[in-house]
Chain A
Protein backbone atom coordinates (compact mmCIF):
# COMPACT_ATOMS: atom_id res chain seq x y z
CA UNK A 1 0.00 0.00 0.00
CA UNK A 2 1.33 3.41 -0.95
CA UNK A 3 1.73 5.93 1.85
CA UNK A 4 -0.23 8.60 -0.04
CA UNK A 5 -2.67 7.59 -2.75
CA UNK A 6 -4.29 9.68 -5.43
CA UNK A 7 -6.21 8.81 -8.55
CA UNK A 8 -3.91 9.69 -11.44
CA UNK A 9 -6.78 10.86 -13.63
CA UNK A 10 -7.19 12.69 -15.85
CA UNK A 11 -10.14 14.30 -14.17
CA UNK A 12 -12.03 16.27 -16.80
CA UNK A 13 -14.51 18.95 -15.78
CA UNK A 14 -16.21 21.71 -17.76
CA UNK A 15 -15.38 25.33 -17.14
CA UNK A 16 -17.36 26.70 -14.20
CA UNK A 17 -17.86 23.32 -12.55
CA UNK A 18 -16.52 22.11 -9.21
CA UNK A 19 -13.45 19.88 -9.41
CA UNK A 20 -13.03 17.44 -6.53
CA UNK A 21 -9.60 15.94 -5.93
CA UNK A 22 -9.08 13.23 -3.35
CA UNK A 23 -6.17 11.81 -1.40
CA UNK A 24 -5.84 9.09 1.22
CA UNK A 25 -2.87 8.44 3.48
CA UNK A 26 -1.78 5.47 5.52
CA UNK A 27 0.18 6.95 8.46
CA UNK A 28 -2.20 7.77 11.30
CA UNK A 29 0.27 10.15 12.94
CA UNK A 30 0.38 12.44 9.92
CA UNK A 31 -0.13 15.98 11.07
CA UNK A 32 0.22 18.40 8.15
CA UNK A 33 -1.34 18.16 4.73
CA UNK A 34 -0.54 20.13 1.62
CA UNK A 35 -1.92 20.51 -1.88
CA UNK A 36 0.55 21.59 -4.54
CA UNK A 37 -0.27 22.48 -8.12
CA UNK A 38 2.27 21.66 -10.82
CA UNK A 39 2.10 22.85 -14.40
CA UNK A 40 4.05 20.77 -16.87
CA UNK A 41 7.78 21.43 -16.55
CA UNK A 42 7.31 23.86 -13.67
CA UNK A 43 7.89 23.73 -9.93
CA UNK A 44 5.22 22.47 -7.53
CA UNK A 45 3.39 25.51 -6.16
CA UNK A 46 1.60 25.42 -2.79
CA UNK A 47 -2.16 25.88 -3.10
CA UNK A 48 -3.43 24.97 0.36
CA UNK A 49 -2.20 23.63 3.67
CA UNK A 50 -4.45 22.14 6.33
CA UNK A 51 -3.66 20.86 9.81
CA UNK A 52 -7.00 20.35 11.59
CA UNK A 53 -10.09 18.34 10.82
CA UNK A 54 -12.72 20.20 8.85
CA UNK A 55 -12.73 22.64 5.97
CA UNK A 56 -10.35 25.43 5.08
CA UNK A 57 -11.32 27.89 2.36
CA UNK A 58 -9.12 30.23 0.34
CA UNK A 59 -10.78 31.90 -2.60
CA UNK A 60 -12.03 29.26 -5.03
CA UNK A 61 -10.18 26.50 -3.16
CA UNK A 62 -11.41 24.47 -0.19
CA UNK A 63 -9.33 21.82 1.52
CA UNK A 64 -11.12 19.21 3.61
CA UNK A 65 -9.45 16.97 6.18
CA UNK A 66 -10.84 13.93 7.94
CA UNK A 67 -8.16 12.35 10.12
CA UNK A 68 -10.41 9.53 11.31
CA UNK A 69 -10.88 8.40 7.71
CA UNK A 70 -7.31 9.39 6.74
CA UNK A 71 -8.66 11.41 3.89
CA UNK A 72 -7.93 14.87 2.52
CA UNK A 73 -9.56 16.53 -0.45
CA UNK A 74 -9.34 19.69 -2.51
CA UNK A 75 -12.37 21.34 -4.07
CA UNK A 76 -11.93 23.90 -6.82
CA UNK A 77 -15.05 25.98 -7.44
CA UNK A 78 -15.76 27.75 -10.72
CA UNK A 79 -13.00 25.77 -12.44
CA UNK A 80 -11.08 27.63 -15.13
CA UNK A 81 -8.99 26.28 -18.02
CA UNK A 82 -5.98 27.82 -16.25
CA UNK A 83 -6.59 25.37 -13.39
CA UNK A 84 -5.58 22.53 -15.73
CA UNK A 85 -2.50 21.04 -14.07
CA UNK A 86 -1.37 18.14 -11.91
CA UNK A 87 -2.39 18.43 -8.26
CA UNK A 88 -0.07 16.81 -5.75
CA UNK A 89 -1.14 15.76 -2.29
CA UNK A 90 1.68 15.81 0.27
CA UNK A 91 1.68 14.66 3.86
CA UNK A 92 4.04 15.39 6.72
CA UNK A 93 4.21 12.91 9.57
CA UNK A 94 4.69 13.66 13.24
CA UNK A 95 8.22 14.62 14.22
CA UNK A 96 9.66 14.57 10.72
CA UNK A 97 10.21 17.31 8.21
CA UNK A 98 9.97 15.37 4.96
CA UNK A 99 6.95 15.49 2.72
CA UNK A 100 5.48 12.27 1.37
CA UNK A 101 3.80 12.80 -1.97
CA UNK A 102 1.13 11.04 -3.93
CA UNK A 103 1.62 10.53 -7.65
CA UNK A 104 -0.70 13.45 -8.42
CA UNK A 105 -4.04 13.85 -10.18
CA UNK A 106 -4.11 15.48 -13.59
CA UNK A 107 -6.99 17.92 -13.89
CA UNK A 108 -8.31 19.07 -17.27
CA UNK A 109 -10.80 21.93 -17.40
CA UNK A 110 -12.37 22.28 -20.82
CA UNK A 111 -14.13 25.42 -22.11
Chain B
Protein backbone atom coordinates (compact mmCIF):
# COMPACT_ATOMS: atom_id res chain seq x y z
CA UNK B 1 0.00 0.00 0.00
CA UNK B 2 1.39 3.38 -1.00
CA UNK B 3 1.94 5.89 1.76
CA UNK B 4 1.16 9.58 1.82
CA UNK B 5 2.93 11.35 -1.02
CA UNK B 6 3.72 15.03 -1.37
CA UNK B 7 4.90 17.12 -4.28
CA UNK B 8 7.25 18.86 -4.74
CA UNK B 9 9.83 17.70 -2.23
CA UNK B 10 11.54 21.08 -2.35
CA UNK B 11 10.47 24.50 -3.58
CA UNK B 12 12.47 27.70 -3.64
CA UNK B 13 10.56 30.86 -4.53
CA UNK B 14 10.93 34.58 -4.13
CA UNK B 15 8.90 36.68 -1.78
CA UNK B 16 5.63 37.67 -3.40
CA UNK B 17 5.40 34.62 -5.65
CA UNK B 18 2.79 31.88 -5.46
CA UNK B 19 3.44 28.25 -4.60
CA UNK B 20 1.10 25.29 -4.62
CA UNK B 21 1.84 22.17 -2.62
CA UNK B 22 0.13 18.88 -3.29
CA UNK B 23 -0.67 15.95 -1.04
CA UNK B 24 -2.00 12.54 -2.02
CA UNK B 25 -3.29 10.67 1.02
CA UNK B 26 -3.35 6.93 1.52
CA UNK B 27 -6.12 5.48 -0.62
CA UNK B 28 -9.38 5.27 1.27
CA UNK B 29 -8.40 7.75 3.96
CA UNK B 30 -11.15 10.32 4.39
CA UNK B 31 -9.18 12.44 6.82
CA UNK B 32 -6.39 14.66 5.54
CA UNK B 33 -4.31 17.03 7.64
CA UNK B 34 -1.78 19.75 6.87
CA UNK B 35 0.98 20.65 9.31
CA UNK B 36 3.98 22.95 9.14
CA UNK B 37 7.34 23.02 10.86
CA UNK B 38 9.32 26.23 10.78
CA UNK B 39 13.02 26.25 11.67
CA UNK B 40 13.67 25.31 15.28
CA UNK B 41 10.00 25.04 16.19
CA UNK B 42 7.59 22.20 16.70
CA UNK B 43 5.32 20.77 14.00
CA UNK B 44 2.11 22.81 14.07
CA UNK B 45 -1.36 21.93 12.83
CA UNK B 46 -2.80 23.95 9.96
CA UNK B 47 -6.06 22.31 8.99
CA UNK B 48 -8.09 19.11 8.69
CA UNK B 49 -10.32 17.85 5.90
CA UNK B 50 -12.93 15.16 6.20
CA UNK B 51 -13.43 14.12 2.61
CA UNK B 52 -13.81 17.44 0.76
CA UNK B 53 -15.03 19.45 3.76
CA UNK B 54 -12.83 21.58 6.01
CA UNK B 55 -13.41 20.21 9.49
CA UNK B 56 -10.95 22.46 11.33
CA UNK B 57 -8.91 25.29 9.87
CA UNK B 58 -7.98 26.91 13.17
CA UNK B 59 -4.26 26.61 12.48
CA UNK B 60 -4.21 28.46 9.17
CA UNK B 61 -1.96 31.49 9.77
CA UNK B 62 -3.73 34.01 7.53
CA UNK B 63 -5.69 34.44 4.32
CA UNK B 64 -2.60 34.05 2.16
CA UNK B 65 -3.03 30.31 2.66
CA UNK B 66 -5.73 28.44 0.76
CA UNK B 67 -6.30 24.71 1.06
CA UNK B 68 -8.57 22.70 -1.17
CA UNK B 69 -9.57 19.07 -1.49
CA UNK B 70 -11.89 18.88 -4.44
CA UNK B 71 -13.47 15.46 -4.80
CA UNK B 72 -12.16 14.34 -1.45
CA UNK B 73 -8.98 12.79 -2.83
CA UNK B 74 -5.77 14.79 -3.12
CA UNK B 75 -5.35 18.20 -1.51
CA UNK B 76 -3.52 21.36 -2.47
CA UNK B 77 -2.18 24.11 -0.25
CA UNK B 78 -1.55 27.40 -2.02
CA UNK B 79 0.44 30.24 -0.54
CA UNK B 80 -0.16 33.56 -2.30
CA UNK B 81 1.77 35.80 -2.00
CA UNK B 82 4.55 34.02 -0.15
CA UNK B 83 6.38 35.79 2.64
CA UNK B 84 9.77 35.04 4.20
CA UNK B 85 8.17 33.64 7.36
CA UNK B 86 6.34 30.99 5.31
CA UNK B 87 9.60 29.08 4.90
CA UNK B 88 9.53 25.68 6.54
CA UNK B 89 8.58 22.07 5.97
CA UNK B 90 4.93 21.41 5.15
CA UNK B 91 3.70 17.97 6.12
CA UNK B 92 0.56 16.22 5.05
CA UNK B 93 -0.97 13.35 7.01
CA UNK B 94 -3.98 11.12 6.53
CA UNK B 95 -6.07 8.76 8.59
CA UNK B 96 -8.98 6.47 7.88
CA UNK B 97 -10.99 7.42 10.95
CA UNK B 98 -10.98 10.57 13.07
CA UNK B 99 -8.02 11.00 15.43
CA UNK B 100 -10.41 11.84 18.25
CA UNK B 101 -11.70 8.27 17.98
CA UNK B 102 -8.14 7.06 18.38
CA UNK B 103 -7.00 6.54 14.81
CA UNK B 104 -3.42 7.08 13.69
CA UNK B 105 -2.23 9.83 11.38
CA UNK B 106 0.29 8.71 8.74
CA UNK B 107 2.65 11.40 7.56
CA UNK B 108 4.11 12.17 4.19
CA UNK B 109 7.76 13.13 3.62
CA UNK B 110 7.01 16.84 3.56
CA UNK B 111 7.66 19.69 1.18
CA UNK B 112 10.54 21.97 2.12
CA UNK B 113 9.57 25.52 1.14
CA UNK B 114 12.18 28.26 1.04
CA UNK B 115 11.06 31.83 0.43
CA UNK B 116 13.89 34.20 -0.52
How big is chain B's contact interface, by range? 20 to 34
Chain A residues with CB under 8 Å of B100's CB are 31-32, 92, 94-97
Asked if B106 CB lies within 8 Å of chain A CBs, one says yes
Bitwise, B76-107 to A at CB < 8 A (1) or not (0) is 00000000000000010000001110101111
Task: Indicate if the CB atoms of B59 and A98 lie closer than 8 Å.
Answer: yes
Asked if B25 CB lies within 8 Å of chain A CBs, one says no
Asked if A75 CB lies within 8 Å of chain B CBs, one says no
Task: Indicate if the CB atoms of B107 and A97 lie closer than 8 Å.
Answer: no
- Which of B41, B45, B55, B108 contacts A100, CB < 8 Å? B45
Chain B residues with CB under 8 Å of A94's CB are 100
Task: Indicate if the CB atoms of A97 and B99 lie closer than 8 Å.
Answer: yes
In Å, the complex CA distance between A42 and B48 comes to 22
In Å, the complex CA distance between A102 and B37 comes to 11
Task: Indicate if the CB atoms of B102 and A101 lie closer than 8 Å.
Answer: no
Chain B residues with CB under 8 Å of A41's CB are 109
Asked if B4 CB lies within 8 Å of chain A CBs, one says yes
Task: Indicate if the CB atoms of B107 and A98 lie closer than 8 Å.
Answer: no
Chain A residues with CB under 8 Å of B40's CB are 103
For A34, give the chain B residue with the smallest CB separation: B104
B64 to chain A, nearest CB (A): 21
Chain B residues with CB under 8 Å of A102's CB are 42
The 3 closest A-B pairs by CB, nearest first: A98-B45, A97-B99, A101-B43
Residue positions of B touching A, CB distance < 8 A: 3-4, 31, 33, 35, 40-45, 48, 55-56, 58-59, 91, 98-100, 102, 104-110
Residue positions of A touching B, CB distance < 8 A: 2, 4, 31-32, 34, 36, 41-46, 49, 51, 88, 90, 92, 94-104
Return 21 A-B CB contacts under 8 Å, by A number.
A2-B42, A4-B42, A31-B100, A43-B4, A43-B91, A43-B110, A44-B91, A92-B99, A92-B100, A95-B100, A96-B99, A97-B48, A97-B56, A97-B99, A98-B48, A98-B56, A98-B99, A99-B33, A99-B43, A102-B42, A103-B42
